[in-house]
Amino acid sequence: MPGPLLHVGATVLCAHGGQALPTVPNSRVLVGGMPTVTLAAPYTVAGCAFVPPGGNGPCVTAQFVTAATRLTSQGQPLLLQDSQSVCAPTGTPLLPVVVQTRATGM
């Protein structure tokens, strides 16, 4: 399904409100002057508020598992707003809440 491209300026949160940032921006494709992010880039999560009694949290890292099917850069699919991800160690998703709307992909 088509959707806006994720870039380093997007606001991406873990399911518990922690701020997620990509560790490897893709400077070959810029959106609004900011690098985009590919499927290969892991995210770091800071400020996750989840403190479970079983000791399985908070969210520390995340990896997207789906991305654009028709849009790549340097051989890697670009991330879209509706791309799916998994946080470690909790297994919850990242939530892209504020993204640019000018460039979309599929």
E strands, 1-106, are 3-4, 11-14, 19-22, 26-31, 34-36, 43-46, 61-64, 72-73, 76-77, 85-88, 94-98, 104-105
CATH of the domain at 81: 2.60.200
Distance CA 40, CA 59 (A): 19
**Residue 71 in domain:** yes
Closest CA to 41 of 83, 102, 89, 98: 83
Average pLDDT value for residue range 57-69:
95
Let me know if residue 42 belongs to a domain.
yes
Instruction: Print the domain residue range for 67.
Output: 3-101
* 106 in a structural domain: no
How many domains does the chain divide into? 1
**pLDDT for residue 55 is more than 80:** no
Distance, in Å, from the CA atom of 20 to the CA atom of 59, rounded to the nearest integer, reads 10
Retrieve residue 32's tokens.
Answer: 């609004």
Residue 41 has pLDDT above 70, yes or no: yes
pLDDT recorded at residue 1? 65
Asked, for residue 76, whether it belongs to a domain, the answer is yes
For residue range 70-90, what is the model confidence (pLDDT) as tens digits? 999 999 999 999 999 999 999
pTM over 0.85: yes
> Does the residue 74 lie in any domain?
yes
